[in-house]
Amino acid sequence: MGNGEAIRAMTHPLREVAQDYDALLDWIGDAEVVLIGEASHGTHEFYRERAAITRRLIEEKGFRAVAAEADWPDAWRVNRFVHGRGTDVRANDALRGFQRFPAWMWRNTVMLEFVDWLRAHNRRAQDDRCAGFYGIDLYSLHSSISAVIGYLERIDPSAARRARDRYACFDHVGTDPQSYGYLAHFNVGRSCEDAVVRQLTELLERSQKYAARDGAHPRDDFFDAAVNARVVRNAEQYYRAMFRSHAESWNLRDRHMMETLVALKGHLEAAGDGPARIVVWAHNSHLGDARATDMSRGGELNLGQLVREHFDARAYAIGFSTYEGTVTAAHDWGEAAETMRVRPGLAGSYEALFHEAGMRGLLLNLRELAEHALLRGPRLQRAIGVIYRPHTERLSHYFEARLSQQFDAMIHIDTTRALHPLEHTARVAPLEETETYPSGA
């Protein structure tokens, strides 16, 4: 039996993509945290199918939150909108907070449709069946500072003055947190470590007092401020670590995601009955268990590993892959988004293996197939973030993974197309003809 025939024999075909997930929902069962990844930050089908699965989890299994690889303040604006709060009147308005590169990750047509759907769902649902949208990343140093000060100015002006004085230690680097990290690491500038820790500690010590204040949603308002203060503390550590070790900064970021996820779950459970079920949206590299990839050899962990260690059988992780198509990405950090052609998956990769099945889409139950030789690996796996460099693809975008240990289920869509940003994409980039790194076999 050839590889393609073997894959066909073990898969659940996705004939009408976005509709064939009855089996997947059965496999998820009573899981409380469902991780849904993506093999790129710019593929339409990954976003569309993830949103379709999430809608079913919210409607059929009572999931109450989407926790995304996004900055907390920007996602909080969306969260207020889907709960009918705030001043935004359209989903496009609520998504305008996502201005930092890469804005297309969240300002895209799939997100626009999903945010509209979530607001409509919440209007129809009972309070305990409403669902929110939250960010668990830590890049929002300055906007989180503004959010903490803004909250305290409304309820405790003297505390706001202390917060402003503490956070003023970042003023000498302007709006570039990487500059702060560089100067603090090399002892050129003043470190803000003590100041941000003191600010978070003081805020948490006053939690009962602040959360009991008058207002429409005092618990939520305090929780928002507390998470923002935690973002500032962890971002300060992250930007200093950037100049010491990639593994250290990566681990700090994913530990922050885990810390925020656990805090969010606790916050939601404190306001309702039973466990708060949460869907997590992030890249495969964050959600597939790092212990099953090259990452662990480099001293890196990730959110997927931490979730499995903490929640055990209450967690379920789903990955995505594609063989070829187009993707929205940039050539380098901060550059304009482009529609780029995705090279066919390399020989010896999971992408090429699934392509051999000759199917438009397929769904694999990796828990049942844990010992299958084709899925145990190690085998190459592709990861495209917001940067895509096809001319060095083997070096830049492939790593080794043991798929059946990395995820609980895998969705492969053989040919995919680029995500559509809400803003105009600059141009369609030509397909590179050569690769400067040996492809191997």
pLDDT value for 303: 98
The answer to whether position 302 is within a domain reads yes
Number of domains in the chain: 2
Of the candidates 201, 236, 252, which is a domain's last residue? 252
The answer to whether position 286 is within a domain reads yes
441 and 295 housed in the same domain:
yes
The token pair that represents 386 in the structure block: 């917001």
145 and 106 housed in the same domain:
no
How many whole angstroms separate alpha carbon 337 and alpha carbon 298?
30
The answer to whether position 271 is within a domain reads no
The answer to whether position 41 is within a domain reads yes
pLDDT digit of tens for each residue in the chain (441 aa)? 689 899 999 998 887 655 679 999 999 999 999 999 999 999 999 999 999 999 999 999 999 999 999 999 999 999 999 999 989 999 999 999 999 999 999 999 999 999 999 999 999 988 778 999 999 999 999 999 999 999 999 999 999 999 999 999 898 776 778 777 777 777 666 788 999 999 999 999 999 888 877 666 889 999 999 999 999 999 999 998 888 889 999 999 999 999 999 999 999 999 877 899 999 999 999 999 999 999 999 999 999 999 999 999 999 999 999 999 999 999 999 999 999 999 999 999 999 999 999 999 999 999 999 999 999 989 999 999 999 999 999 999 999 999 999 999 999 999 999 999 998 754 555 544 333 333 333
The token pair that represents 87 in the structure block: 């001043």
Cβ neighbours of residue 283 under 8 Å, at least 6 residues apart?
37, 38, 39, 40, 41, 69, 383, 385
* CATH number of the domain that residue 322 is part of: 3.40.1660.10
422 and 289 housed in the same domain:
yes
Burial class (CB in 10 A: 0-12, 13-18, 19+), 369: middle
The answer to whether position 300 is within a domain reads yes
The answer to whether position 8 is within a domain reads yes
214 and 228 housed in the same domain:
yes
Strand, coil or helix: 399: strand
Q: How far is CA 141 from the centre of its chain?
A: 17
33 and 93 housed in the same domain:
yes
Residue of 217, 189, 187 lying closest to 83 (CA atoms):
217
The answer to whether position 422 is within a domain reads yes
195 and 232 housed in the same domain:
yes
How many whole angstroms separate alpha carbon 251 and alpha carbon 287?
13
Strand, coil or helix: 82: helix
pLDDT value for 272: 75
105 and 203 housed in the same domain:
no
381 and 394 housed in the same domain:
yes
pLDDT value for 71: 97
pLDDT value for 188: 63
How many whole angstroms separate alpha carbon 439 and alpha carbon 351?
14
282 and 421 housed in the same domain:
yes
Where in the sequence is the domain holding 394, given as residue range(s)? 1-137+277-426+437-441
The answer to whether position 270 is within a domain reads no
The token pair that represents 424 in the structure block: 């105009």
Bridge partners of 35?
280, 317
Note whether 63 and 279 are within 8 A (CB): yes
DSSP codes joined into one string, 180-212? HHHHHHTTSS---HHHHHHHHHHHHHTHHHHHT
The token pair that represents 176 in the structure block: 């570039």
214 and 294 housed in the same domain:
no
419 and 283 housed in the same domain:
yes
Of the candidates 190, 219, 252, which is a domain's last residue? 252
Residues in the chain: 441
Note whether 355 and 345 are within 8 A (CB): yes
98 and 166 housed in the same domain:
no
